Structure 1
Amino acid sequence: CIERGIKRCKDDKTVKYMLMDLKLSVLQNLKKPKGNRLYIKLRREFHKIPKLARKTVATTLLSYPSLNTNETDLLKTRLWSQYYQNDRSTQVFIFLGKAREKIKTGNITEGIALYFKGLRIAKTIPHPTGIINSLNDLAWYIRHSHPHWALRLVNKAMYWVGWYREDARSVFYVFDTLFEIQRIVSDQRLGKTASLITSLQKYLPSGQGRGTREYYKETIQDCKYFIFDLKGSVFKNSNSLRNYLRRFMKSISSASVSSNISRGKLSAILNGKTKTVRGETIRKLIKGLKLKPNPLDDPAPIINEWMKMKIEDVFFDALEKLKGIKPNERVILLLLTYMSIFDRKEKLPYLSRKGRLEQAIELCTADMNEFTNFMSHRYETMRFTSDMINEMHPFIEGRKDLVKKFLGKMPKKRMKIFAVNYAELTEGDRKIVDAFARNYTRYDLGWKVYLKLPFELKEFVEFFHLKKRLSTLAFFASERPTERKKILRVFQELR
């Protein structure tokens, strides 16, 4: 596809070199030797590249040698023109390239300092790729020497992935970094990252090279060990479970008293005569023995029931907080949480069904006792309720803050109309609205551009008191005409 484009635009050098730049990035990700030849070609022809394309090509040339860790004899690209030295976007990649070179030669301290310089410049622009890459690389290179600092840095990178990237496939490496560091520090939130990776990996391309499912095969496989089925309530009495319980029982008699389980039943569990163990029995043992499970190491039945207990506790705490919030604000919390969750068909199979979201919105504004009853029957909805109040995974928090700003632009009465109409849409149409809402805030960058608002959007924008320029940018963020037609159709139903 890229090759055909290059051949067809020989007369338009700007487009030609932009496509060659894209081709170099693809070859670099795939680790193809042809990338080195194209790098040399672009480097030699740099003086021929039109000004409009030169800055983009320059940033790729600056990064290429340092990203190819196996190639030590590639000549580095130097920029003699003061224009490029002073351009802040280019400066970011100059610092990132230098930082990687320092790391490759073992100068970790100097490399870290250069990453921070690049990060500071990237934040002032702001430059999404510069921010995300600086934070991610910093976290990766200090993960063993300063793991908790690394975790803070990669959590920030993950937040900005949610904020800046509607399609997170291109930055899957940040999820990989977070997962690795969470394992190092035994972070109990690792399961949430594993769940996101499992959902996102389905959309990665197949084949070889960076950014493919094959490249991240080991991480994807490891994630399966940290995802638990909360529907199960009867577990196999395995050797690992029995050995784990023995470690925390001083004697069967004392364990029987503290857990309120008969001595005979405990003996049958420990000697393996009982082939299965009920979830309720495991809960009694967790409470009675005052266990503090580790999701990374302990047997699955223990973690499964411990997670259920945590979800229940946090659910009821969240309900108490929700009762002290005004009904209109509860609707906003419910809606922005729902609109931000990734892969709802898998994460919210019940709540995303036709009629369920409408019911939840209606109950949370009218009768909190009925809302409690409605949400308490499933761990899916209990967890969702706690997410309305508590901090979520940083990737989701980034998406959540985008939607929060979008909904915050609407007058209260109009926002309630929006919520009700949104809930009546099909799940596919809701996703279209979600992406528009996030892009609306993403493109609020103070750009001095004027794009005419499509006539079909005018009524929707005016009714919900949205800004014309941001609505237009969010609309055209969908590149394909078919996608934009869908937006227009859905928004006719929303109004």
Structure 2
Amino acid sequence: MNIKLLDKIMNKGQFIRPILNYVVHYLESDRSDKNKSIVNYINVLKLKWDVKYDEALEIINEEIKGLKKGGLYYLFLDQKIHILNRIKQKEGVKKVFDELKDNFDNIPVYVRGLVVETLKNIHELYYEPDENMEKIRYWSENYEQNPVDKGFILLSRARGKKNEERYEEAVCLNVEAFKVLKTIPHPSGMVQALNNISWWLKDTNKEKALTFTFPLGFYLGYYFDDDNFKVFNSIDTIFQVQKDNNDPLVYESVFIFSKCLSQLNKAEGESIKNTFKDIINQLKYFVFNLDNNQHRSTPKLRAFIRKEIGKEKIPIDSMNVSERTLKEFLSAKTKYIQPSTLRNILEALEFEITTSTPICIIKELKKKDIDKKFEINLEKFKNLPKERQVSEFFTSYLVHHYKEEINLKKIIKEIQDDSLIEQRCDYYKKELINSIFERNPKIDFNSLLTNVQEPKIYTNKNITFNEHPFYLGRKDVVKKFMKDLNKKNLKEFIENYVSLDTRQKKTIEKFMMNYGRYYDLRDIPKEITPKVPKEIDPFVKKYTLRRKPSAISFYVFEGKEREEFIKIIDNF
């Protein structure tokens, strides 16, 4: 196989992993001995993405011993310097940097774009601003016309401006990098640019940092599965920024983080817990469910209510709560308080919401917000054609972590029987129906850059809980699958889905999500564009799915997971 074909898609980063899986499948079924080094290079990329650095370095060191100094040799070196930098082996980084720099003129032209991007980034991290800069500037200017090289060079320049504490310039460069990388697309680079902005600004301009958490959350949900490290890294950034701004979405961010964490195995979970200790320690203070159970009467809650009543000098008879009930609650004679009682007390007060507000108060305010929206949205939902109701609810169900609390089969039956009424809807069901009518606002980066963001103060009277951008991104993805799904077979598809166990459902969901993510993927050479394998061809035809995104989504699966997917769809 010609390595130049691979080079044409490497600019998409981790996003082209399923293409590489297809290439490996093709090469190993052809002549595995002849293609061994190319397969090993692909394996190195995957090991790096999976944070298995020792295994990757072992393969690299073995390969470069026997390779001539051609394109593949320098591609291995390029990965070596990336990994050495990740594990902070400074001397090793500088040694490889010097080899790449000194031999740059001998590196094949088709590889230079990747190498110059690496050299520029490493230079920013390890060298003084003027040291060896002239030649690197020359390389940068020559390769900036390539979108991915230009994008990452812009990210590198942004880091340089940040190091000089020129934050506004750094933000502009990150936005420019994002726009360039979006044309490819290069999801990892896109999210990195947005994450940089929010993280770098959180201590200098927290309001502007907050505005950039919306596109960050959206593209995070759009492009990445729950178990991807970038999800945890960026949700942590979003959490820190939202917390500093007392933003109501902070609670949903922590909930998403906790749900993603719960899906990892023990070793993966421990790694995340050790990396993101702050948000891990905050989970119990920010995560709540949407049940209607009574609240524990804690000292913190009683002190808060007592303080607010005293501050406003509210007469008890204006609270829609009996004097006896209130006194027994405030004196700790009762161990619990009913949600309706707490809500009545809150209605009589007005106070600022901060992240130190008792969590049960936040819970009741969110439930109130859900009720207010649901009063309008239930009628809108019931006015949709039944097929549309089923399709829209299923879409909303798929993108939310609340689905674990939903009996999908029962709700579909209620829709079909016209028996879906407000009294049968708990808060999880209400939230998913409300979500159907949440619209994704257009992201105008020019406005984000130029608008002056004023600090926003939330009170129990004006607080609203918008749809989290992470879910909006997911919804955009799933809708592409649902649009193509043969509506005649929609009912059968959902029935088959409902019959699966939890693990099997997640496998189908993964296929659906990635179908949408790769829906518009372009610029893949025909020779390495995945074809629909015979094992899933009947499934693709039956449900009238597009062949290219179906094939690519199939090759997202690896090893036993791919075999499992084939077994699952046999029942569809």
Normalising to structure 2: TM-score of the pair?
A: 0.74
Among 199, 203, 211, the alignment partner of 2:259 is 199
SS in 2 for 1:80: helix
Q: Which moved more, 1:154-163 or 1:424-433?
A: 424-433
Matched letter for residue 183 of structure 1: K
Hey, what's the Cα distance between the residues in 2 that align with 1:58 and 1:313? Answer: 55
CA gap 1:28/1:311 in 2 versus in 1, 3 angstroms: farther
Partner of residue 60 from structure 1, selected from 118, 142, 156:
118
Counterparts of 2:503 and 2:384, CA distance in 1 = 30
Deviations 1:415-457 (A, max 9, x none): 3332232222222222222111222222222335243321122
For 1:235 and 1:74, the matched residues in 2 are separated by 62
* Pair 1:86-2:145 in alignment: yes
Match of residue 483 from structure 2: 408
User: Which of 364, 368, 372 is equivalent to 1:309?
Assistant: 368
Structure 1 match to 2:500: 425
1:284 matched residue in structure 2: 344
After superposition, the Cα gap between the structure-2 partners of 1:19 and 1:373, relative to the gap in structure 1 and judged at 3 Å, is farther
Per-residue Cα deviation, 1:270-316 (whole angstroms, up to 9, x for no partner)? 344445433332122122x1445626121233233333333333344
Over the matched positions of the two proteins, sequence identity in percent amounts to 26
Q: Which of 545, 555, 571 pairs up with 1:476?
A: 555
The Cα of 1:226 is off from its aligned counterpart by 0.8
User: Cα distance 1:406–1:276, how it changes in 2: closer, same or farther (>3 A)?
Assistant: closer
Matches within 5 A, 1:455-470: 455-470=534-549
- 2:567 maps to 489
Structure 2 CA distance for partners of 1:249 and 1:292, relative to 1, 3 Å: closer
Shift of 1:179: 0.9
Q: Any stretches of 5+ residues in structure 1 without a counterpart?
A: none
Q: Residues 17 and 315 of structure 1: is their aligned pair in 2 closer, same or farther, counting only changes over 3 Å?
A: farther
**TM-score (norm: length of structure 1):** 0.85
Per mean C-alpha deviation after superposition, the further-off stretch among 181-190 and 484-493 is: 484-493
Moved more, 438-447 or 244-253: 244-253
Give deviations 1:362-386, integer Å, cap 9, x for gaps.
322331x346454x2x433333333
Cα contact 2:396–2:433 (8 A) shared by 1: no
* In structure 1, C-alpha distance between the alignment counterparts of 2:508 and 2:294, rounded to whole Å: 41
User: How many residues are matched?
Assistant: 478
CA distance in 2, matches of 1:141, 1:243: 37
CA distance in 2, matches of 1:67, 1:200: 32
- Listed as ranges, the matches of 1:217-296 within 5 Å are 217-231=277-291, 233-249=293-309, 255-287=315-347, 289-291=348-350, 294=353, 296=355
Q: SS in structure 2 opposite 1:9?
A: helix
Q: Which residue of 2 aligns with 1:7?
A: 61
Q: 1:147 aligns to what?
A: 206
Q: Which amino acid aligns with 2:551?
A: T
Residue in structure 1 matching 2:412, options 355, 361, 366: 361
For the structure 1 residues 32 and 437, does the alpha-carbon distance in structure 2 shift closer, same or farther, using more than 3 Å as the test? Answer: same
Q: For 1:140 and 1:162, how far apart are their aligned partners in 2?
A: 18
How do 1:121-132 and structure 2 match up within 5 A? 121-132=180-191
CA 320–222 in structure 1, closer or farther in 2 if over 3 Å, else same: same
Letter in 2 for 1:428: R
Given that 1:252 and 1:266 are in contact with CA atoms closer than 8 Å, whether structure 2 keeps it comes out as: no
Partner of 2:10: none
How far did 1:158 drift? 1.7
Q: Check conservation: 2:181, 2:189, Cα contact below 8 A.
A: yes
Given that 2:308 and 2:351 are in contact with CA atoms closer than 8 Å, whether structure 1 keeps it comes out as: no
Gap change, CA 1:441 and 1:280, over 3 Å in 2: closer
Deviations 1:102-139 (A, max 9, x none): 11012223323322332332233333233222222122
Deviation at 1:62, TM superposition (A): 2.4
State how 1:163-182 maps to structure 2 within 5 Å.
163-166=222-225, 167-182=227-242
Find 1:385's aligned residue among 433, 436, 445.
433
SS in 1 for 2:571: helix
SS at the partner of 1:213? helix
> How much is the aligned-residue C-alpha RMSD, in angstroms?
3.3
Output the amino acid matched with 1:361.
I
Deviation by residue 1:471-492 (Cα, 9 ceiling, x = unmatched): 11111222x2422222222222
Distance in 2 separating the partners of 1:222 and 1:118 = 33
Q: Deviations over 1:309-351 (max 9, x none)?
A: 3333334433222112111111111111222235xxxx43342
Measure how far apart 1:57 and its partner are: 3.6
Task: Give me the whole-angstrom Cα distance separating, in 1, the residues matched to 2:384 and 2:328.
Answer: 50
Instruction: Give yes or no for the alignment of 1:348 onto 2:403.
Output: yes
Q: Give SS of 2:531's match.
A: coil
- Whether the 8 Å contact between 2:101 and 2:119 is mirrored in structure 1 is yes
> Structure 1 residues 170, 238: closer, same or farther in 2, change over 3 A?
closer
For 1:182 and 1:473, locate their aligned partners in 2 and report how far apart those are by CA, in whole Å: 36
Of 430, 447, 458 in structure 1, the residue corresponding to residue 523 of structure 2 is 447
Cα deviation for residue 194 of structure 1 reads: 0.6
Q: CA deviation at 1:410?
A: 2.8
